[in-house]
Structures are given as C-alpha cells and as structure tokens.
Amino acid sequence: MSQLEEVEGVVLSVRKHRERDYLVKLFTGQYGKLMFFVRGTKNPNFKLKSAIQPFTRATYIADIRSEGLSFIRDSKNVQPYSSIQTDIFKNAYSTYICQLADAAMDDRKVDVNLFHQLISGLEAIETDRDPEIIMAIFEIRFLAYFGVMPELRGCVRCGLTEGPFDYSSKFHGLLCPQHFHEDERRFHASPRAIHFIRLFSVVTFDKINTISLKKETKEDIRRVIDQLYDEMVGLNLKSKRFINNMHQWENMLKREDD
C-alpha cells in the first residue's frame, strides 16, 4: 500500500521521459535528494507542470518509495523563482549550484541544513544579490560534502588565525607568511581572495547583503576556487563551462563598447 504525504522540496533537475512523462529530481527537506516519476497527460499544461519546472519550490503531495522511483501526485504552495527562470545569467549560476548540489549529495541522505541553505541561496539570486558570490559560497561549502574541506581556520603549521595567508595544496590548508617557505608551490593567491574564501566558509546567506566585491577581487577568488576544484574535486560540469564562456562573451562585449 502506498501512502501519500506532503514533502517540502525544490526542483534540482527535470528530464523528459518518453513522450509525456517526466523524471524530476527534488531536493526535499524530509528525505534529502530523490528522483520522482511524474506522469504527463495529453494536455501540455497539465496541473503539475508549473510545480516541476526547474527553480521551483513547492509542497509536493508524494508517494515516497523506500527504493526506486517515488511519485509526485499533486502539489501546493508552488513558488517559481521566476527571475532565475527567465534571466540567462541568474539561470546559469543557479543551474551550476543545483548541479553541484546534485553531485555533492547522496540520494536519500537527509540534510535539512543544506536544504535551507540551498533555498536561501536561490532566493538571494532571485532578489538580485551577486550570483558570483553565492556561487563561491556554495563551492566552498560543498568541498566538505566532497570530503576535501581544507583547513581554512588558520595556518596549518602554527595555528595562527590572523591573516594574511596563502593556500598550500601540500598541506591541504593555509600557511602564514612565517611558513610560506615550506611550500614553494603554494597558490601565491592574493591575501584578499583568501580572506573572502575563509569568510565564505562560515557566512550565512542573511549576511551576504553586506558583502560587495570589486571585479579584481572576484577574479582572484575565482582563480583560487577553480584551482581547488581542479586539484581536489575534478568535476567537469557543463554548467560551469557555460559560466566560463559567459565571462568571455561579457569581456568581448565590453571590449566592443570601449
């Protein structure tokens, strides 16, 4: 016997299945990440249609199975993030964040804290907070989920917690200037970039209103995070390549304006 229950969820991805049906991956508060089967109808605007769009949050009336696919039967309180759905830039960042969450999380692993963080992050992008900062915060947080969180609290050699610092792959964490000589191949990152990366590892999304960064600082942060991901995570997500290309177009458009 199946039993219907209400679950809070946000859509991570949607894939068409055969002609009319859908496979929808939700991140739910109660059950973690789960794949659902949604039966479509001849009517392309069937009633569940809006609830299973990417970047939508809702209460789903679902039949949760302990293995295999679960089923969405109905929905209520559907809240689309409409600005993310329609703005190509916001969409690109949010797609990457959701794909990263998908890659970082195991199925059916309950993580209410991350569920709320993901919703807060999407809401922040929806309401025009800087998506590059939100993306960087998630990338730093997800390092822990990939099991590779470096020591960001202070120098790995002496425990000093006041910067400036640089990052060392050899020691999997920060070095203070006293200990720079122990790793010649440290990142040689800007101290500002390291400062913000440390901040991103602890900041909550309600505090990000107060963070605004210059373009050069964001580029410095980006270099460090990309290097951390290349060395330790090694994902090759299409959505990340899209963001990289997007920056190239932006630069090209700017050059034409000059």
What minimum distance in Å lies between the beta carbon of 168 and Zn ion? 10
Strands (E) across the chain are located at: 4-17, 21-28, 32-38, 56-63, 70-80, 151-155, 166-168, 173-175
In this complex, which beta carbon is closest to Zn ion, that of residue 98 or of residue 176?
176
Instruction: Return d(Cα 233, Cα 220) in angstroms, integer.
Output: 19
Residues facing 193 on adjacent strands: none
Q: Does 103 sit near Zn ion (CB under 5 A)?
A: no
What minimum distance in Å lies between the beta carbon of 177 and Zn ion? 8
Instruction: Return d(Cα 196, Cα 134) in angstroms, integer.
Output: 12
Compute the C-alpha angle 165/97/88, nearest 5°.
115
Among candidates 161, 61, 237, 132, which has minimal Cα distance to 152?
A: 161
Binding map of Zn ion across residues 116-155, x = CB under 5 A, - = no contact: ---------------------------------------x
In this complex, which beta carbon is closest to Zn ion, that of residue 57 or of residue 179?
179
Cis (ω within 30 of 0) for the bond into 164? yes
In this complex, which beta carbon is closest to Zn ion, that of residue 61 or of residue 160?
160
What minimum distance in Å lies between the beta carbon of 186 and Zn ion? 12
In this complex, which beta carbon is closest to Zn ion, that of residue 105 or of residue 176?
176
* Count of residues engaged in binding Zn ion, rule: CB under 5 A: 7
In this complex, which beta carbon is closest to Zn ion, that of residue 179 or of residue 240?
179
What minimum distance in Å lies between the beta carbon of 151 and Zn ion? 11
Binding map of Zn ion across residues 152-191, x = CB under 5 A, - = no contact: ---x-xx-x---------------x-xx------------
- Report whether 98 contacts 22 (CB < 8 A): no
Chain positions 187 to 226 lying near Zn ion, rule: CB under 5 A, are: none
What 8-state DSSP symbol labels residue 150?
Answer: -
**Cβ-closest position to Zn ion:** 155
What minimum distance in Å lies between the beta carbon of 169 and Zn ion? 16
- Report whether 172 contacts 151 (CB < 8 A): yes
- Report whether 22 contacts 52 (CB < 8 A): yes
Give me the residues that bind Zn ion (CB under 5 A), please.
155, 157-158, 160, 176, 178-179
